[in-house]
């Protein structure tokens, strides 16, 4: 475990696969400590750049809250319009500036590979808070943390991943993270137009994930321990007509979850649109608000480990 703590120091978080099981267990242990014993001022005097070129609510605010709770401070912006990018400044120049003003950069950007490029340019650590359709590794860490906390373990679970498997970066990162653990089976549930990309399928297969594609959630609902639901990513569709065809392709309601196991849980990275009916909120299966609330201790643990707040 000490080795895992040492490995976090100063490192970038670009892809979920940069981490192994031991790393994630060390991260979860520290997050648990913050949940149970509260936060300490271990990052006093440290500055985090919150570089959100794309909108975000939960990810940005939970990172900022985490930094404040650890005694650090935050600079940054929450849209491209608020930066000199609109004056024609290059992305790499913005990153160089943030690097000189802060100790760590948390970045979200509409283009795939932006976090990797930022990590190459910056001397300080860079955390990928979502790069286009590619990855969202801290969301996957949060998802794994939530499942392990609520279910005791990720191993041997039957997990359904449902919704926009084609464009949702959280799905890529969630599945890559599952390959680090050993779930019993994963069902990829989607409209045929929203199937998981072939390259991601090949990657998770090569890493030994046992998965099957299905069209209809009703076929597998009674088997599931966990359902991970995502919204249709309207902003990533290059063809608006394609979005219109699939926008109402699926919807989970309180009536549907009656067919589930007693201890079945639903996760959703939020925001939701119509795919997750509010009637589910009051059932014991709704775990998505717990999931969102764990974002602060999880991201605090990550910042603390990277910036040397833990010894």
Partner 1 sequence: MGMRELIVSKIKDGTVIDHIPSGKALDVLKVLGISGGKGHRVAIVMNVESSKLNKKDIVKIEGRFLSKDETDIIALIAPTATINIIRNFEVVEKRKVSLPRVISGLIRCPNITCITRHEGIETNFEILSAGLRARCSYCGIELSYSEFVELILKQLGTRT
Q: Give the one residue of 58, 110, 151, 261 binding partner 1; rule: CB under 8 A.
A: 110
Q: Give the one residue of 50, 59, 102, 114 binding partner 1; rule: CB under 8 A.
A: 114
The answer to whether residue 81 forms part of the interface with partner 1 (CB under 8 A) is no
Whole-angstrom distance, CA of residue 227 vs CA of residue 268: 8
Q: Map the footprint of partner 1 across residues 184-213, applying CB under 8 A.
A: 199, 202-203, 206
Rounded to 5 degrees, φ, ψ at 229 are -110, 140
Q: Could you tell me which residues come within 8 angstroms of residue 157 by beta carbon, excluding any fewer than 6 positions away?
A: 147, 151, 183, 184, 225, 226
Residue 59 bears catalytic tag: yes
The answer to whether residue 112 forms part of the interface with partner 1 (CB under 8 A) is yes
**Options 136, 166, 231, 299, the catalytic residue:** 136
In what helix (H) or strand (E) does residue 124 lie, and over which residues does it extend? Answer: none
Tokens linked to 69:
């709770």
Residue 58 bears catalytic tag: yes
Which listed range, 5-13, 84-92, 137-145, 286-294, lies at the site for partner 1 (CB under 8 A)?
Answer: 84-92
The answer to whether residue 111 forms part of the interface with partner 1 (CB under 8 A) is yes
Residue 96 bears catalytic tag: no
Q: Report the sign of the C-alpha dihedral through residues 132, 134, 138, 142, in that order.
A: positive
Rounded to 5 degrees, φ, ψ at 187 are -100, 130
The answer to whether residue 275 forms part of the interface with partner 1 (CB under 8 A) is no
Identify which of residues 69 and 109 has a Cβ nearer to partner 1 in the complex: 109
Cβ atoms 124, 104 nearer than 8 A: yes
Residue 90 bears catalytic tag: no
Q: In what order do the strands lie in the sheet with 126-131?
A: 73-77, 47-52, 104-109, 126-131
Rounded to 5 degrees, φ, ψ at 148 are -65, -30
Identify which of residues 16 and 62 has a Cβ nearer to partner 1 in the complex: 16
DSSP 174-206: HHHHHHHS--SEEEEE--GGGPPPHHHHHHHHH
Residue keyed to tokens 């509409």: 110
Tokens linked to 80:
């491209």
Q: Give the one residue of 12, 23, 99, 131 binding partner 1; rule: CB under 8 A.
A: 131
Identify which of residues 28 and 237 has a Cβ nearer to partner 1 in the complex: 237
The answer to whether residue 139 forms part of the interface with partner 1 (CB under 8 A) is no
Which listed range, 64-72, 112-120, 214-222, 281-289, lies at the site for partner 1 (CB under 8 A)?
Answer: 112-120
The answer to whether residue 96 forms part of the interface with partner 1 (CB under 8 A) is no
Q: Give the one residue of 135, 143, 164, 275 binding partner 1; rule: CB under 8 A.
A: 135
The answer to whether residue 308 forms part of the interface with partner 1 (CB under 8 A) is no
List residues near partner 1 by CB under 8 A: 15, 90-92, 109-114, 116-117, 131-135, 199, 202-203, 206
- Active-site residue set: 58-59, 87, 108, 136
């Amino acid at each position: 475990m000490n080795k895992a703590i040492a490995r976090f120091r100063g490192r970038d978080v670009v892809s979920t696969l940069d981490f192994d099981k031991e790393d994630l267990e060390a991260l979860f242990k520290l997050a648990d400590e913050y949940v149970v014993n509260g936060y300490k001022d271990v990052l006093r005097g440290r500055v985090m750049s919150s570089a959100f070129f794309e909108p975000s609510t939960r990810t940005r605010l939970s990172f900022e809250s985490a930094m404040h709770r650890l005694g650090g401070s935050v600079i940054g912006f929450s849209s491209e319009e608020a930066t000199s990018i609109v004056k024609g400044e290059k992305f790499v120049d913005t990153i160089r500036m943030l690097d000189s003003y802060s100790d760590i950069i948390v970045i979200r950007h509409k283009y795939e590979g932006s976090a990797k490029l930022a990590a190459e340019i910056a001397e300080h650590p860079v955390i990928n808070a979502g790069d286009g359709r590619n990855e969202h590794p801290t969301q996957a860490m949060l998802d794994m943390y939530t499942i392990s906390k609520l279910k005791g373990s990720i191993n041997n679970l039957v997990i359904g991943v449902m919704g926009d498997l084609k464009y949702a970066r959280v799905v890529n990162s969630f599945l890559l993270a599952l390959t680090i653990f050993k779930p019993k089976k994963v069902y990829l549930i989607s409209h045929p137009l929203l199937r998981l990309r072939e390259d991601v399928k090949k990657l998770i297969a090569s890493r030994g994930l046992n998965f099957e594609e299905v069209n209809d959630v009703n076929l597998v609902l009674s088997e599931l321990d966990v359902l991970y639901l995502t919204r249709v990513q309207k902003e990533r569709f290059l063809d608006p007509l394609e979005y219109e065809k699939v926008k109402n392709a699926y919807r989970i309601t309180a009536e549907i979850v009656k067919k589930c196991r007693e201890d079945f849980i639903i996760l959703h990275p939020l925001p939701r649109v119509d795919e997750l009916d509010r009637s589910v909120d009051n059932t014991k299966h709704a775990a998505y608000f717990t999931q969102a609330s764990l974002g602060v201790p999880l991201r605090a643990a990550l910042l603390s480990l990277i910036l040397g707040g833990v010894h």
